[in-house]
């Protein structure tokens, strides 16, 4: 093995560029090695910001806000990225038997307003919201038009957009000849290559409900994305019951706020993001079966019990 003295190492790999930004409602961290590293970080930041402008539910001029206004009226011309992510979201809805559904917004909103009132929604309210939630109803028209057939429908890309953005960052690093880089969008991690010294990147796995950095293990990865979805941090309370920020679109009821989390490892960060959410919605038992049936690499953490799919045995440490 060749040992490089630090000075030479810096000349060969370039000192890393590091950058932190607040984007897509979360903390975004980049660490990139190479001559063009700082420029690449800026390009990646601009790309995440562009996607945020297309998909933010808080911006009245975003494409998802326009789609919500035009629901039940007419199809909307959208950017190629929006067509791409919604076409994937539609397929994922079918693939996950409805557990993953980017049209779940009306149910999430109903439960949030119930939390504000302190009383669970009525059966009628639930029925009305459920009638609007249907991932299969998203209409994809060539070239680049999307329609939502029912007034009141809307799109929420909160469970897949950060993964899509991470893939775009890795593509930008690649295009600029970068061989070692990491981007972390609030726990949605994607890495290019390994670390410059040849070792893999180590991604910690957080214990649900604990402080950040309180980990039950880690995964060592190269050229992969690691995304965790957990029943914690962003939940709410209705009366005496605490719920998670995730909804089960098939029942219309939010998941319980318990100590269950799912981490998915995949070359596509978008799929890792969407599938970690979907497996969480399925619940521990079905999630493990589903992951094995479909060769999805996943770590399930359920109240202290860790389950790994076989593809991750060599990458996991504790
Ligand atoms: P994640 O942290 O990736 O699991 O995504 C959580 C976000 O996805 C939530 O804050 C909601 O905006 C949205 N969401 C909630 N339930 C679902 C669901 N069943 N399918 C897709 N998106 C959902
Ligand atoms: Mg997700």
pLDDT in tens, 155-197: 999 999 999 999 999 999 999 999 999 999 999 999 999 999 9
User: Is residue 5 scored above 60 in pLDDT?
Assistant: no
Pocket of ligand 1 (CB under 6 A): 100-102, 104, 108, 156, 158-159, 229, 245-247, 249, 273, 277, 281
Which segments of 118-263 does DSSP mark as H helices, in order? 123-130, 161-175
Measure 1 CA to ligand 1 centroid, in angstroms.
46
Measure 315 CA to ligand 1 centroid, in angstroms.
27
Confidence band (pLDDT; 50, 70, 90) for 257?
Answer: confident
pLDDT digits (tens, 9 = 90+) for 261-276: 999 999 999 999 999 9
Quick one: what percent of the chain has pLDDT higher than 70?
A: 95
User: Is residue 1 scored above 70 in pLDDT?
Assistant: no
Q: Which of 64-68, 171-175, 250-254, 256-260 has the lowest mean pLDDT?
A: 256-260
How far is Cα 176 from Cα 16, in angstroms, rounded to an integer? 15
Among 266, 263, 261, 264, smallest CA distance to 191 is for 266
Other CB atoms within 10 A of residue 158 CB: 20
Q: Report the length, in residues, of the chain.
A: 318
- Residue 310 is classified by DSSP as G
How far is Cα 123 from Cα 245, in angstroms, rounded to an integer? 20
Which ligand sits nearest to residue 107's alpha carbon?
A: 1
Measure 157 CA to ligand 1 centroid, in angstroms.
8
Tokens of 20: 């932190």
């Amino acid at each position: 093995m060749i040992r490089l003295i630090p000075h030479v190492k810096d000349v060969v790999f370039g000192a890393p560029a590091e950058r932190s930004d607040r984007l897509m409602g979360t903390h975004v961290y980049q660490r990139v090695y190479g001559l063009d590293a700082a420029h690449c970080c800026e390009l990646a930041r601009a790309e995440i910001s562009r996607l945020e402008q297309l998909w933010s539910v808080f911006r009245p001029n975003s494409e998802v806000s326009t789609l919500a206004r035009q629901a039940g009226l007419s199809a909307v011309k959208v950017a190629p990225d929006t067509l791409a992510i919604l076409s994937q979201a539609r397929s994922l809805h079918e693939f996950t038997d409805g557990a993953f559904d980017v049209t779940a917004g009306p149910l999430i909103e109903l439960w949030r307003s119930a939390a504000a009132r302190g009383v669970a929604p009525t059966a009628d309210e639930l029925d009305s919201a459920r009638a609007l939630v249907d991932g299969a109803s998203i209409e994809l028209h060539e070239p680049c038009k999307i329609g939502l057939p029912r007034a009141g429908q809307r799109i929420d890309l909160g469970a897949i957009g950060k993964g899509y953005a991470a893939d775009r960052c890795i593509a930008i690093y690649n295009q600029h000849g970068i061989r070692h880089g990491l981007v972390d969008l609030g726990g949605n991690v994607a890495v290019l290559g390994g670390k410059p010294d040849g070792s893999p990147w180590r991604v910690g796995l957080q214990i649900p409900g604990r402080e950040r950095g309180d980990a039950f293990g880690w995964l060592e990865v190269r050229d992969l994305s690691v995304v965790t979805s957990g029943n914690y941090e962003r939940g709410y309370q209705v009366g005496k019951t605490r719920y998670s920020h995730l909804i089960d679109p098939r029942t219309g009821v939010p998941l319980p706020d318990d100590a269950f989390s799912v981490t998915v490892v995949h070359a596509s960060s978008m799929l890792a993001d969407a599938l970690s959410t979907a497996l969480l919605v399925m619940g521990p038992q079905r999630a493990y079966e589903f992951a094995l049936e479909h060769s999805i690499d996943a770590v399930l953490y359920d109240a202290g019990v860790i389950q790994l799919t076989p593809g991750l045995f060599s990458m996991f440490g504790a």
